[in-house]
Amino acid sequence: LSIFALFGMATPMVKIVMLLLIAMSVAVWAIALEKWRLLRLLNQRADRFEKAFWQNDGLPDLYKNTRPEQTDHPLAYLYTSGLREWQKAQELEDDAGGLNISAKHRVEQLLYADLNRIIQRLEKYLPWLGTIGSTAPFIGLFGTVWG
């Protein structure tokens, strides 16, 4: 008796259940490996950006020296996006010499919106893991009962 012989002797419904569980397992492993690779890459890029952040003499210097390929990390993207909007707000500075409340609020809202987009990108496929994790035991139980 081998696994393939047992699979061959199973009824069509049991074969469908086994193939479905195998497909779900492959999907979970693919998502997990992709998330592991992405987080490892982002950690490396975060270390590189933080090193550049603390080594520069001033934040505007880092902004000038931030190359587009460095903005592939969420920290660098938020930094360049926020500083770009801050510079636009400084150009709209009122006569009193300070930033008005709406400019500060606009920068804050831009950063919140960018952060939400980044989080959505990082959480991609996580609902699939939840769905598979909650349904797989019931599909397995159905296959067991049917068999």
Report helix, strand or coil for 86.
helix
Q: Which residue ranges of the chain lie beneath pLDDT 50? A: none
What count of residues does the chain have?
147
Side chain identity at residue 60, one-letter code: P
Q: How far apart are CA 137 and CA 125, in angstroms?
A: 20
The model's pLDDT over 87-123, given as tens digits with 9 standing for 90+, comes to 777 777 655 555 566 777 878 888 888 889 888 988 9
Q: Cα dihedral sign for 102, 105, 111, 117?
A: negative
Predicted confidence at residue 103, as pLDDT, reads 73
pTM of this prediction? 0.72
* Distance set, CA 140 to CA 12, 23, 130 (Å): 15, 13, 16
